Chain A
Amino acid sequence: DVKVTQSSRYLVKRTGEKVFLECVQDMDHENMFWYRQDPGLGLRLIYFSYDVKMKEKGDIPEGYSVSREKKERFSLILESASTNQTSMYLCASSLFWGRGALNEKLFFGSGTQLSVL
Chain B
Amino acid sequence: GDSVTQMEGPVTLSEEAFLTINCTYTATGYPSLFWYVQYPGEGLQLLLKATKADDKGSNKGFEATYRKETTSFHLEKGSVQVSDSAVYFCALTIGDTGNQFYFGTGTSLTVIP
A-to-B contact residues, CB < 8 Å = 4, 31, 33, 35, 40-43, 45, 48, 50, 56, 58, 90, 92, 94, 96-97, 101-102, 104-106, 108-111
Contacts and interface: CB of A to CB of B under 8 A. Distances in A.
B103 interface: yes
Contacts of A105: 34, 46, 49
6 contacts: A33-B101, A42-B89, A97-B98, A101-B32, A101-B95, A104-B95
A30 to B, nearest CB: 9
Interface residues of B, number: 23
Interface of B: 32, 34, 36, 41-46, 49, 51, 89, 93, 95-96, 98-101, 103-106
A3 B76 CA distance: 28
A104 to B, nearest CB: 5
Nearest to A97: B99
Give me the 9 closest cross-chain CB pairs, A-B, nearest first: A108-B43, A42-B105, A97-B99, A43-B103, A108-B44, A101-B51, A110-B43, A97-B95, A42-B106
A103 B42 CA distance: 22
B100 A94 contact: no
Contacts of A43: 44, 89, 103, 106
B100 A45 contact: yes
Given A31-B99, A43-B89, A48-B100, 9 more contacts: A40-B105, A42-B89, A42-B105, A42-B106, A92-B44, A101-B32, A101-B51, A108-B43, A111-B43
